[in-house]
Structure 1
Amino acid sequence: MNTLPDIEFSEALIRRFDKLGPRYTSYPTADRFHAEFTEQSYIEYLAQRSTQAGNNPPLSIYVHLPFCESLCYFCACNKIITKEHGRTTEYLRYLAKEMALVVAHIGPDRRTAQLHFGGGTPTFLSPDELRELMTMLRSHFDFLPDAELGIEIDPRTVSDDTMAMLAELGFNRTSFGVQDFDLAVQQAVNRVQPYEMVEKAVTASRKAGFESINADLIYGLPKQSLESFNRTLDSVIELSPERIALYNYAHLPSRFKAQRLIVEADLPTAEARLQIFLMSVRRLLDAGYIYIGLDHFSKPDDELNKARLDKSLHRNFQGYTTRADCDLIGFGVSAIGKVGHSYSQSVRTVNAYYQHLDANRLPIEKGFSLSADDVLRRQVIMELMCSGPVDFAAINRTHGIDFRSYFAQELAQLKQYEEAELIQVDEHRIAVTPKGRMFVRAVGMVFDSYLAQQSSAKFSKLI
């Protein structure tokens, strides 16, 4: 097993500290968003960029493309299942209207460091439509020379020509939804894609010059076993993607209608799920991957690991990122944004989205304005999530507090993690230990002032 000094795994500690908790792609978490945050609230935060020219962070743009040809039973994303490809023409027209409304308020500083197409299936759009969308984006936003442009790929929807076209449009990172290569598992979740299909798409990506390829895996799916997932890992390691995301399937059929089509008796037991996870971590480390945090792994020379080492790693709604903290602008149904000290989310249905834009209104459904305490706690939680030390003096200077007094109660609650050697706390900082890197969500939860007000049933297990 890989014995890198910055990561240690203990099955006993996992059993002790595994519990339900947020993934902290934001703080406060998205379940705290509320309808009192309106379109006008969002406009006010956009307008602040106009009044502080030269002091704005760069932009990160997310475009939600919700269309899929078929339903994957495990999926918790906001999607529209259809084979009518003509529906995208209208959707693109409304995306253009939304962009025009946003840039009317955001001001001239539109430097953009990051772009991500998610869904749904972004490659549901035709090549011409993808070109049209990129032309639209480039006409409104100033992409930096080293901007990171990523797109989620369903291997069933692409060809060699598709990957070459995406590279031509400027995309340099791609993420393939693999989930599992076992046929019985694929049939149980209605997503059949042979290894050869994925291999062909990955090969085409490399030929087209993509800088980084990610493979998404999910453990805990129906029909999955230790032996079957071990074979899946054989195949993934052979594909040798630069990054691997190993997600824990959260079975919440009361919230996600598609999951009701999964036969619950086919799901692995909690013990089997834990053993699959432990085996997967060992195998990925043995194969030379580095544990980045939560469910992310990368090769040692990937930018994600370099950011981890130089403490520039960040976390946003797309997960871990190498980019400095950006203002995130979301376009499309259900898209989430982060501008200044605010979060916003658009309406979830296409009809509501179109109705808002027909009335020349931004399609904001809800959001959140952060207080000074929220901003402070967000910094602490995000630094923990990225396994960076929480430096008391730096936070004191930024927020005008005395950390040890302000967080006296939280520091007392950290004792159990300190005693388990997951963190080290002294007069100057909180440092995550090699043992603790897997438990940063649990440590971060100590600083979450909203957890007592909400049910933990909304969240997934830490492991």
Structure 2
Amino acid sequence: MIDFDKFAKYSKAGPRYTSYPTAPEFHESFTCKSYEDVLATQDKSRKLSLYFHLPFCRSACYFCGCNVVYTSKEDKKERYIDYLVRELELLSKHLDTSREVIQMHFGGGTPTFFSTAQLERIIGAIKSHFKNFAKDAEISCEIDPRYLTKEQLDVLTCNGFNRVSYGVQDFNDEVQKAIHRIQPYDVTANVVKMAKSAGIKSINMDLIYGLPYQTFETFKETLRLAVSLDPSRLAVFNYAHVPWMKKTMRKIDETTLPLPSVKLAIMRYTIDYLESNGYKMIGMDHFAKPDDELFLAIEKGELHRNFQGYTTKGGADLIGIGLTSIGEGLSHYVQNFKEMDAYENAIDAGVLPVHRGLTLNDDDVLRKAVIMEMMSNFKLNIAGIEQAFGIDFFDYFADAIKALEPFEQEELVVVDRVAKKIFVNTTGTLLIRNIVMPFDAYLQKIPEDKRRFSKTV
């Protein structure tokens, strides 16, 4: 049992660690030329993971932290596809597009806000450059259930899409009104049925706890309804309230947000409820059924984490395409422009639309390996890290190990100095962001009251 009031003290600003170093460390001195140099020297035997950002939505969901363009105009969508096609042409001059693609993801925005013809055009442009898709490639699309027709789903499945992720957030009427996203249960149930009928076996559903007017009891009902639809995966995210970054979040009355103790109670119940219904916790906020590849990966300790969440497709270079997309390699991150004008201007000038990025130093690469392993698999093979990087772990990370002592005393973490392993127990997983923060060299340089991240609890 958790003493929720005591655990509420861990509610502090901290990164979500979809990357390390985190995005605030990216800088504009990493230029288009920097990225071209990276692409020219990449190991061509490494696989590719492709991410396409399709940014348009009809209206704002107040909880959303994504980079979104609100429109109802078809000409804006057509214009964006024109530039996406041109970006692909520019990219193909610097990237060996014959490399094997093992993963492709459409994110947004609302990818299915594009028509069937527009989706066909986008996919056709991609396949004209990237022809070497692995037979078992994971090809996925984020979908707002309010914007999906059978015809659109047919386009996706006919082009090899084998995974969909439905945004649900919460089934409660009052919560839906507060976040400006009215989505009746029947709408979600219909698109889940549609995907299953189309033969898609991997169906994810996104829920968010920490939203306005949520209570322990209302979220219990949301979980019950979600499980009744039998998705193969569930992602249950802690709402990241960052109104200084996202203006639409300022429309949320902060006095209606649940307290950290309530959020902890919700998450503890979520873990118990989903595990009692056949799901296993995967990483920080994902759950999967025993026959899902994520479940099998964590059993083997082979789970990986990238900007799209948890994946089994490790060892690939991530190529981000489209407005604000992020790419990642062994020792770099790169991000496209966030503003449409800047994105278009770069492509008009005949250069890749790189806004900023980062070249990782040796310390970055080491800390990234430690943080991502713990975020993914809730454990760390210290001996393996020592062998891979030629360090004495307990000497190199003396400060971090010292900072873990309170978590050890709370019996959330075991640091086995003899077996050279770190284990995070089930309760500790609720605080995994806090637990890996001591290994973040950049974060330690920022006073706690100056850290501009969402709350960890």
TM (normalized to structure 1)?
A: 0.93
SS at 1:93 equivalent = helix
* 2:409 aligns with one of 392, 404, 419: 419
The match for 2:244 is 254
Shift of 1:345: 0.7
Shift of 1:35: 0.8
Shift of 1:129: 1.2
The match for 1:429 is 420
Q: Which moved more, 1:114-123 or 1:257-266?
A: 257-266
The match for 1:376 is 366
Identity %: 43
Asked if 1:331 corresponds to 2:308, the answer is: no
Matched to 2:176, the amino acid is: Q
CA RMSD of aligned residues (A): 1.9
The match for 1:351 is 341
Matched to 1:21, the amino acid is: G
Change (3 A) 1:389 1:166: same
User: How many corresponding residue pairs?
Assistant: 452
Asked if 1:440 corresponds to 2:432, the answer is: yes
Shift of 1:384: 1.0
Shift of 1:426: 1.5
The match for 1:47 is 40
Matched to 1:340, the amino acid is: L
* 2:233 aligns with one of 223, 228, 243: 243
Q: Which moved more, 1:196-205 or 1:219-228?
A: 219-228
CA contact (8 A) 2:10 2:434 kept: yes
Q: Which runs of 5+ in 1 are unaligned?
A: 1-7
* 1:132 aligns with one of 118, 121, 124: 121
TM (normalized to structure 2)?
A: 0.94
Asked if 1:181 corresponds to 2:181, the answer is: no
1:207-260 deviation per Cα after TM superposition (whole angstroms, max 9, x unaligned) = 111121111111121222222222211210101111111111122222211112
How many Å separate the matches in 2 of 1:109 and 1:453? 42
CA contact (8 A) 1:333 1:350 kept: yes
The match for 2:291 is 301
The match for 2:85 is 96
1:263-315 deviation per Cα after TM superposition (whole angstroms, max 9, x unaligned) = 33332333333333333333222222111121111112211111100111000
Shift of 1:140: 1.4
How many Å separate the matches in 1 of 2:360 and 2:71? 38
CA contact (8 A) 2:8 2:260 kept: no
Asked if 1:19 corresponds to 2:12, the answer is: yes
1:22-77 deviation per Cα after TM superposition (whole angstroms, max 9, x unaligned) = 1111100011101111111111111112xx433xx211111001100111111111
Q: Which runs of 5+ in 2 are unaligned?
A: none
How many Å separate the matches in 2 of 1:346 and 1:262? 29
1:91-110 deviation per Cα after TM superposition (whole angstroms, max 9, x unaligned) = 11111111111121123542
Shift of 1:411: 2.5
SS at 1:357 equivalent = helix
Change (3 A) 1:388 1:246: closer
The match for 2:443 is 451
CA contact (8 A) 2:242 2:454 kept: no
CA contact (8 A) 1:423 1:431 kept: yes
Q: Which moved more, 1:147-156 or 1:252-261?
A: 252-261
Asked if 1:59 corresponds to 2:48, the answer is: yes
Change (3 A) 1:10 1:242: farther
Asked if 1:113 corresponds to 2:109, the answer is: no
Change (3 A) 1:274 1:440: closer
CA contact (8 A) 2:333 2:357 kept: yes
Change (3 A) 1:14 1:321: farther
Shift of 1:18: 4.1
1:134-174 deviation per Cα after TM superposition (whole angstroms, max 9, x unaligned) = 11112212211110001000111112232222111111111
Matched to 1:438, the amino acid is: L
How many Å separate the matches in 1 of 2:121 and 2:290? 36
